[in-house]
Amino acid sequence: MLLINCPWCGERDQTEFTPHGEAHIARPLDPYALSEQEWGDYVFFRSNTKGIHYERWVHSHGCRRWFNAVRNTATDVIHATYKPGEPRPEISTEEPS
Amino acid sequence: MKKYSIFSLLRNSVNYHQDWQKNWRSPDPKPHYDVVIVGGGGHGLATAYYLAKECGVTNVAVIEKGWIGGGNTGRNTTIVRSNYLWDESAGIYEHAMKLWEGLSLDLNYNVMFSQRGLLHLAHSVHDMQEIGRRGNAIHLNGIDSEFVTPAQVKEMVPFINLNCRYPIMGALLQKRGGTARHDAVAWGYARKADDMGVDIIQNCEVTGFRIENNTVTGVDTTRGMIGAGKVGCVTAGHSGVLADMAGFRLPIESMPLQALVSEPIKPILDCVVMSGSVHAYISQSDKGELVIGAGTDNYNSYSQRGSFNIIEETVGPVIELYPIFSRMKMLRQWGGIVDVTVDRSPILSKTPVNNMYFNCGWGTGGFKATPGSGNVFAHSIARGEMHPIAEPFSIDRFNTGALIDEGAAAAVAH
């Protein structure tokens, strides 16, 4: 890792950024309609993937804007970063790290 | 199994130590076991030991991907304490503490448990209020803790810098707290469990589970399929990977946690000193090395590495508190993968799969609980019902909201 490519600012030191966990978890449209299990699953349960992981970061000591990253959690290699709302890039696990 | 004693030591010392027997066998896996424990760290081996010793279940295998005690059991900073805020935590950590106190005799193996005292420093009014609240809660649970003044801290650690950037205003002392030799804990449990018939199978990685009608019937491993009546998973940082194999998710994220040790020096620090506020944990091992615990990175990862800035943030407070250590050379630095839950309390629980149990989520502080965790987990697996001490740590608490929120209250900064 060490350097992270902020899609808004370009490459910056890792210490400028704060991670905020798994990305692409949609907030349920009607929380009141959910069972305890479904709500617990949304709030607390995570994939915790070993390998390709889509996650949210914020450039907290820079532009303070959010973005998503694709990182291999086994090697910490970041394969791509992209702005919120953009489609998630498909990353092959075969990709050299 | 030959008993270790002063006589065996004398006998072997005149024989150039040629006749020490192996501490455990290396059997081939049998086709079926009553209980298969996945993960040969301290907690897994303790589970197997108490299954054999207290529950009469001896047809047990412990399956380990690498070598026993080679994961977080061999990477932690060896601190043992039971000064937690909540009743549920006090229950399990104090249960462990009581087992620690007789463990070397029980195992006939010196785990070098040393109740040298553990100081938790307070650096602000908020810290003082926090140790006040927690100290009193600990008292009410019948566990020892004392409030000490900065002068008393100075008496215990004469070289500490009381007037550092965040001056020391007081501390909470647990005299029964201390350290134990982490490797010896794994080896002691393994030796005694093996003696009672438990098969310890190393270099055997679990690759999948056999599940029929939502009931686990066996585990696929790199050494073939092993049938199992019940399966207990005690795999720390890789719990999420195993849960994925079994088809469910956990409320856990795996993060790197680092630690470092210095070159060995003469005895200087005879207690454990921790400070959650500035994040400095330090003790001195019996070999003389200063053992320093760092914090976790804030991203999840399995890389067993951690970021460089964490090292700087760890060493900074240490030399501010102990200027005398500023020119010490650090000998080794390493990272392990810890399984962190959102409430910073562990999970000992049944799972959506019948006959499959998980013991995980110990996060940054599992070593201290090794005997207690193994003990109640063994009873839970044997009876098929969670032990009363383990009951509140069910995975279901993340659905019901009955969290055990040590994240804000424990002696460690998260």
C-alpha–C-alpha distance, residues B325 and B265, integer Å: 11
Q: Which residue of A has its CA nearest to B313?
A: A15
Residues B400, A74: C-beta atoms closer than 8 Å: no
Report the pLDDT value the prediction gives residue A82, as an integer from 0 to 100.
97
Residues B302, A18: C-beta atoms closer than 8 Å: no
Report the pLDDT value the prediction gives residue B413, as an integer from 0 to 100.
46
ipTM of this complex: 0.91
Q: Which residue of A has its CA nearest to B309?
A: A15
User: Which of B249, B301, B308 lies nearest to residue A73, judging by beta carbons?
Assistant: B301
User: What are B247-281's pLDDT values in tens digits?
Assistant: 999 999 999 999 999 999 999 999 999 998 998 99
To the nearest whole Å, the CA of A75 is away from the closest chain B CA by: 5
User: Which of B249, B254, B301 lies nearest to residue A45, judging by beta carbons?
Assistant: B249
Residues A73, B398: C-beta atoms closer than 8 Å: no
C-alpha–C-alpha distance, residues B262 and A1, integer Å: 27
At B49, list the tokens: 């030991």
User: What single DSSP character describes residue B145?
Assistant: -
State the average pLDDT for chain A.
Answer: 92
Share of chain B above pLDDT 70, in %: 98
Pairing outcome for strands B224-233 and B356-360: parallel
Q: Where are the strands (E) in A7-84, listed by range?
A: 10-13, 18-22, 52-58, 66-72, 77-82
C-alpha–C-alpha distance, residues B140 and B289, integer Å: 36
User: In one letter, which amino acid is B391?
Assistant: E
C-alpha–C-alpha distance, residues A92 and A59, integer Å: 26
User: With contact defined as beta carbons under 8 Å apart, do B288 and B264 qualify?
Assistant: yes
Residue B205 forms contact with A (CB below 8 Å)? no
User: With contact defined as beta carbons under 8 Å apart, do B337 and B304 qualify?
Assistant: yes
Q: Which residues of B touch A19 (CB under 8 A)?
A: 298-300
Residues 6+ apart with CB under 8 A from B16: none
Number of A to B CB contacts under 8 A, please give it.
Answer: 69
Question: Coil, strand, or helix at residue B18?
Answer: coil
Q: Which residue of B has its CA nearest to A19?
A: B299
At A74, list the tokens: 């086994």
Share of chain A above pLDDT 90, in %: 90
Question: Coil, strand, or helix at residue B185?
Answer: helix
At A53, list the tokens: 């992981």
Residues A76, B238: C-beta atoms closer than 8 Å: no
User: What are B198-219's pLDDT values in tens digits?
Assistant: 999 999 999 999 999 999 999 9
Closest CA to B209 of B99, B354, B102: B354
Q: Which residue of A has its CA nearest to B254?
A: A48
What does the pLDDT average to over A82-92? 90
Helices (H), B225-333: 239-246, 308-321
Residues 6+ apart with CB under 8 A from B351: B243, B246, B248, B357, B358, B395
User: Which of A41, A44, A50 lies nearest to residue B342, judging by beta carbons?
Assistant: A44
Half-sphere exposure of B268 (CA within 13 A, CB side): 15
User: Which of A2, A47, A53 lies nearest to residue B249, judging by beta carbons?
Assistant: A47
Residue B398 forms contact with A (CB below 8 Å)? yes
User: What single DSSP character describes residue A16?
Assistant: G
Residue B1 forms contact with A (CB below 8 Å)? no
Sites in chain B below the pLDDT cut of 70: 407-414
Is pLDDT of A81 > 90?
yes
User: With contact defined as beta carbons under 8 Å apart, do A19 and A56 qualify?
Assistant: yes
Report the pLDDT value the prediction gives residue B182, as an integer from 0 to 100.
96
Q: Which residue of B has its CA nearest to A21?
A: B299
Interface probe for B, chosen from A50, A55, A60 (most Cβ of B below 10 Å), is A50
To the nearest whole Å, the CA of B263 is away from the closest chain A CA by: 28
User: Which of A2, A47, A50 lies nearest to residue B302, judging by beta carbons?
Assistant: A50
Residues 6+ apart with CB under 8 A from A65: A6, A8, A58, A59
User: What are A25-61's pLDDT values in tens digits?
Assistant: 999 999 999 999 999 999 999 999 999 999 999 999 9
Report the pLDDT value the prediction gives residue B112, as an integer from 0 to 100.
97
pTM attached to this predicted model: 0.95
User: Which of B238, B251, B254 lies nearest to residue A44, judging by beta carbons?
Assistant: B251
